[in-house]
Structure 1
Amino acid sequence: MTKRSVLVVLFDDVQSLDVTGPVEVFVGASESLPHPGGYEIRTASLGGAPVLTSSGLRIVPDGSLEDAPAPHTLLVPGGEGVGRPDPRLVDRLRAHASRAERIVSVCTGAFLLAEAGLLDGRRATTHWAYCDRLARKHPAVDVDPDPVFVRDGEVVTSAGVTAGIDLALALVEEDLGREVADQIARHLVVFLRRPGNQAQFSAQLAAQTAKREPLREVQRWIAEHPGGDLSVESLAVRARLSPRHFARTFRSETGMTPGRYVERVRLEHARRLLEHTGDGVQEISRACGYGTPEAMRRAFVRTLGSAPTEYRRRFRPLDIG
């Protein structure tokens, strides 16, 4: 089996975990194979100079970006250094990307890809805290703040920091099969290997906290009673507002409609029950306010791309004992 070459781009103030997380996955996959194959990792910087990560760790690259051969996978990590990219680095990224079969960014590495024009007209993501900034700075990029990672053709972008491990595991599964990816996940003691379209964070974090106490109380009530009557009319009564005023105010203060917020809370609660309990799908659907297993199935397929039973099978906590 021919090894797939992975070129990891290094620069000053890179986030060290954006580099080491994916590298550990790729190296582990190679070592797990019963025959030569997997990945050949090469790190490179401008001129081959050592780089200092944002945490103070010094990394000595394997060589220079100028002399690096064309890679199968070009991996661009993020970090504070993306805020002041060297034009020579952007030029080298553009040159390597033109020859790579797959272009990958971790966290804010998406800013470097965007700077090189590699995300124009494409759907992409980055760390949730920087999605708005990426969209403002590069309006030609279709920024999606929700997923853990996004694939658009040969370009794959991921969310913040540890999402790079999720992305690398997904690429290993694509290249070498699910069995190898699961084995590496167990070795790294990854608690939950997340699907790419899973939300980066919980509904409570995704939405802003309302300024008014009645609306904050409604948010708490929704989180604590996902199986209850969470219609706009019922929640408006709890907030002591008319349904129309409640819906308008809730969206204004949280950045999310009541229906969308309820949908996220219910899905999040259902996922936790599937991951951590042996409760049946019918029981979970009732506990989470879906009413029927079919309603929950539709919500899972629409949002996560898999039915509840498949989600439980693939993304339950890994047995590493």
Structure 2
Amino acid sequence: MHTVAVLALDRVIPFDLSTPIEVFTRTRLPDGRPGYRIRVCAEQPEVDAGSFTLRAPWGLEGFKGADTIIVPGTADPTAPLAPAVRDALRAAADDGTRIASLCVGTFPLAATGLLDGLRATTHWMASDLLAATYPDIEVDPNVLYVDNGRLLTSAGAAAGLDLCLHMIRRDYGSAVAADAARLSVMPLEREGGQAQFIVQNHAPTPRGSTLEPLLLWLQGNLGSELSLADIAAQAGTSTRTLIRRFREQTGSTPLQWLHRARVRQAQHLLETTPHSVERIGAQVGFGSPTAFRDRFKRTTGVSPHTYRRTFS
């Protein structure tokens, strides 16, 4: 039987705390035995969980002998990490314990320095803050979870459940994980590389930049067939100068920006209209349904049909 220690930090997010407890507690092996024992651990005996106060049965000594430590998110992910918690997590990592963070729990885990030089993820709304706060971490906001072996991180609340199921599959195989997924009414097939569903109505336009008029024009002409030369002509500049300015002010090329804007518009149409995928692809300027499907999946991680089933 595996032992999972769930760390309860001050102002812990209740859902992030309860998710691993529920999933691991319900996991059963083929012979009916439980797969995991749970320890809820905290630095202090009582923890503020927002709407209620939590009494933790274990102190940080509960990390000793644990196979896995879960770090849930907190209401203030940038709050300083207590030195005792930091040292306990680092000691556990040195002992070979697997440590996984859920949602913005990546922040306290990052504060230990254990993620330096590694790829990690968190909720997409907090990814820029994570990257700015911990520049030594390669932040990937476009996946559900990242598995670095002994150190794992996940995105939003549902992605935390995906990560728990992934760890069960690693520990006991797909059949046990599938049973745990059914008990959680959760599909097992969502893999870590699937993109987070990042909601943005429009491609970002840097306000006050010299490109703002051009970007607004592009946004209004997504359905037109536009080449790099067409965009440069609208901007009144050479293609070389246009590419340089785009990279400086948007971090992408003109055509990359255009493709992302088209996919975002397609997301909106898939959510709000009954139009066919083929019609939507043509509406947002893709030359063929195949090109639209390929670009959409490369950007979002799922097909247009899957996206529509999820959000329409």
Pairwise same-fold verdict (TM > 0.5) = yes
* Residue 45 (str. 1) matches residue 46 (str. 2): no
**Aligned match of 1:166:** 162
User: Do the aligned partners of 2:102 and 2:157 also contact (CA within 8 Å) in 1?
Assistant: yes
User: Do the aligned partners of 2:97 and 2:150 also contact (CA within 8 Å) in 1?
Assistant: yes
The residue matched to 1:95 in structure 2 has which SS? Answer: helix
1:97 Cα offset (Å): 2.3
* Residue 151 (str. 1) matches residue 147 (str. 2): yes
C-alpha distance after superposition, 1:77-127 (max 9, x if no partner) = 222165211101101111222335422112232222222221122111223
Query: Distance between the aligned counterparts of 1:146 and 1:254, measured in 2?
Result: 18
Written as runs of structure 1 = structure 2, the 5 A alignment for 1:245-260 is: 247=243, 254-260=250-256
1:71 Cα offset (Å): 1.9
Query: Distance between the aligned counterparts of 1:230 and 1:216, measured in 2?
Result: 14
**Aligned match of 1:26:** 24
Written as runs of structure 1 = structure 2, the 5 A alignment for 1:109-188 is: 109-175=105-171, 176-177=173-174, 179-180=178-179, 182-184=181-183, 187=185
* Residue 86 (str. 1) matches residue 82 (str. 2): yes
Query: Distance between the aligned counterparts of 2:308 and 2:183, measured in 1?
Result: 14
Query: Distance between the aligned counterparts of 1:12 and 1:183, measured in 2?
Result: 32
* Residue 58 (str. 1) matches residue 53 (str. 2): yes
The residue matched to 1:83 in structure 2 has which SS? Answer: coil
C-alpha distance after superposition, 1:19-52 (max 9, x if no partner) = 2233333334x169672233322210014x1100
User: Do the aligned partners of 1:22 and 1:165 also contact (CA within 8 Å) in 2?
Assistant: yes
Identity %: 30
User: Do the aligned partners of 2:102 and 2:160 also contact (CA within 8 Å) in 1?
Assistant: yes
The residue matched to 1:66 in structure 2 has which SS? Answer: helix
Deviates more, 1:153-162 or 1:244-253: 244-253
**Aligned match of 1:74:** 69
Give the unaligned 5+ runs of structure 2: none
1:104 to 95, 100, 115: 100
Alpha-carbon spacing, 1:119–1:247, altered in 2? closer, same or farther (3 Å): same
* Aligned alpha-carbon RMSD (Å): 4.2
Give the unaligned 5+ runs of structure 1: none
Alpha-carbon spacing, 1:233–1:41, altered in 2? closer, same or farther (3 Å): farther
C-alpha distance after superposition, 1:46-84 (max 9, x if no partner) = 14x11002x333222231112443222211122216521
Length, aligned pairs only: 299
Query: Distance between the aligned counterparts of 1:259 and 1:82, measured in 2?
Result: 36
Query: Distance between the aligned counterparts of 1:95 and 1:163, measured in 2?
Result: 27
User: Do the aligned partners of 1:102 and 1:155 also contact (CA within 8 Å) in 2?
Assistant: yes
**Aligned match of 1:9:** 7
User: Do the aligned partners of 1:127 and 1:159 also contact (CA within 8 Å) in 2?
Assistant: yes
User: Do the aligned partners of 1:148 and 1:197 also contact (CA within 8 Å) in 2?
Assistant: yes
**Aligned match of 1:36:** 33
The residue matched to 2:91 in structure 1 has which SS? Answer: helix
- The two structures have a TM-score, normalised by structure 1, of 0.71
Query: Distance between the aligned counterparts of 2:131 and 2:87, measured in 1?
Result: 22
1:150 Cα offset (Å): 1.7
